[in-house]
Amino acid sequence: MMIMATAITTDPMLPQPYSVREVAKETPDTFTLRLDPENAVNRSMFQPGEFSMLWLFGVGELPISISGDPSLHDRLVYTVRSVGQATHSLVNRGVGDGVGVRGPFGAGWPLEAARGRDVIVVAGGIGLAPLRPLIYQVLQNRKDYGRLVILYGGRSPRDLLYRKELATWARNRETQVLVTVDYGGLSWRGHVGVVTTLFKYSRLQPTRSVAMVCGPEIMMRFVTRELETQGLSRDDIYLSMERNMKCAVGFCGHCQYGPHFICKDGPVFRYEQIRNLLEKYEL
C-alpha cells in the first residue's frame, strides 16, 4: 500500500486527486482556489515560482503557478484569471469538486541568490500570483534578506490582486509596497501610471539588489530596461515566462523558447539567459 502511494506521487505524468476546499473572488475575472489532497500521503511541497499542471475532467490540462504559502504543506493554492475555456471551467469549480494535480514543476525564484540582499519584486496584473510565495518566504525569514520592495501595476483598482495583503505587507519592517494602476477613478488615491513609473519612489540600492519580475511580456521588457537604467546587473534580474504546455517535463517540446524548455529550464530565467529572445516577435 505504502509502496503504491510512493510510486503514485513520484510519477510526474499521473495527476494526483485533489478537491476544491475554498474559492475566493479576487477581481471580476480572477479567483483564488485552495485545493486539498484527497490522498493523505500527498504532502504539497513546492518552491516559490513553481507551477502545477491542473487536470480538469472533460476539459483538459493547464499550467498554473502556485500562489500560496510554501510553508503550508496541506494544500495548494492557485490564483486563476478566467480567459478561456479551461480557466473558465477551473474558476467555476465548486467546493468539493475534484481537480487532478501534476507537479510541482519547473525552476522557481532563486531564493539562494537573494539571501542577504534587497529583494525587488516587480509584478503586473496576474503576475503577482507566482510572486506571492516568494513574498511569503522573504517575510517569514526576514533576517535572511535586506529590504523587500514590491512594485505592482494593474489595469484599474478593481483589477488588483490581494489588496488586503498588500496593505499588510507594507506594514512589515524594511518593506516598501508601491501600487499603481493604468486607469484610476476619482476615488483611487494611489498612483496612476505604468509600473515603471514607481521606480523613482523606491530608493533602490542597485548593487545590493536582486529583482524578480512577472507580468505580461511587454511589461517585463520595459521593466528590465528600467532596472538596467537603475543600475542593476542583468545577472541580478529574474523573469518568469509563460508558453503553452503539454507534458511539463521536457518531453514534448510544446513550450520551447529558443534553446530553452520553459517547463523544465524555467519558468523563471535569469534575464541574461533570455534577453535576446525577449526582443524577438513570435517566439
Partner 1 sequence: METLERIITEHPFFAGLDCGFTNLMVSCAANVRFKAGAYILKEGDPANTFYLIREGKVAVEVLAPQHKPIIISTLSMGEILGWSWLLPPFQWKFHARAVDDVRAIGLDGKCLRTKCEENHDLGYEVLKRFAQIMEQRLEATRLQLLDVYAVK
Ligand X SMILES: Cc1cc2nc3c(=O)[nH]c(=O)nc-3n(C[C@H](O)[C@H](O)[C@H](O)COP(=O)(O)OP(=O)(O)OC[C@H]3O[C@@H](n4cnc5c(N)ncnc54)[C@H](O)[C@@H]3O)c2cc1C
101 vs 255 by CB, closer to ligand FES: 255
Tell me the C-alpha to C-alpha distance, in Å, between residue 156 and each of 164, 182, 245: 16, 6, 30
If 0-12 CB within 10 Å is exposed, 13-18 middle and 19+ buried, where does residue 75 land?
middle
Place of cell 529583494: 119
* DSSP-derived pairing of the beta strands 118-124 and 98-105: unpaired
* Beta carbon nearer to ligand FES, 66 or 181: 66
Q: Quick check: 153 binds ligand X (CB under 6 A)?
A: no
Please report, as residue ranges, which positions from 223 to 242 form the binding site for ligand X (by CB under 6 A).
242
Residue ranges that bind partner 1, judged by CB under 8 A: 29, 81, 83, 124-125, 153-155, 159, 180, 182-186, 188-194, 196-197, 200-201, 215-216, 218-219, 222
Q: How far is CA 186 from CA 47, 86, 151, 181, 189, in A?
A: 40, 36, 22, 12, 8
Nearest CA to 151 out of 110, 197, 182, 118 is that of 197
List C-alpha distances in Å: 205 to 131, 177, 226. 21, 16, 14
Residue nearer to ligand FES on the CB measure, 231 or 253: 253
137 interface partner picked from partner 1, ligand FES, ligand X, none, CB below 5 to 8 A per type:
none
Quick one: what does residue 65 bind among ligand FES, ligand X, partner 1, none, with the CB cut-off 5 to 8 Å set by partner type? ligand X
Q: Looking only at residues 40 through 99 of this chain, which bind ligand X when binding is defined by CB under 6 A?
A: 51, 62-65, 79-81, 83-88
Nearer to partner 1, 104 or 153 (CB): 153
Residue of the chain from 163, 254, 260, 275 that contacts ligand FES (CB under 6 A): 254
Find all residues with CB under 8 Å of 90, minimum gap 6, and list them: 33, 54, 56, 62, 64, 80, 82, 99
Which of ligand X, ligand FES, partner 1, none has residue 51 at its interface (CB below 5 to 8 Å by kind)?
A: ligand X
CB 268 within 8 A of CB 240: yes
Judged by beta carbon distances under 5 to 8 A according to partner kind, the member of ligand X, partner 1, ligand FES, none in contact with residue 63 is ligand X
Interface ranges with ligand FES (CB under 6 A)? 245-248, 250-255, 261, 263
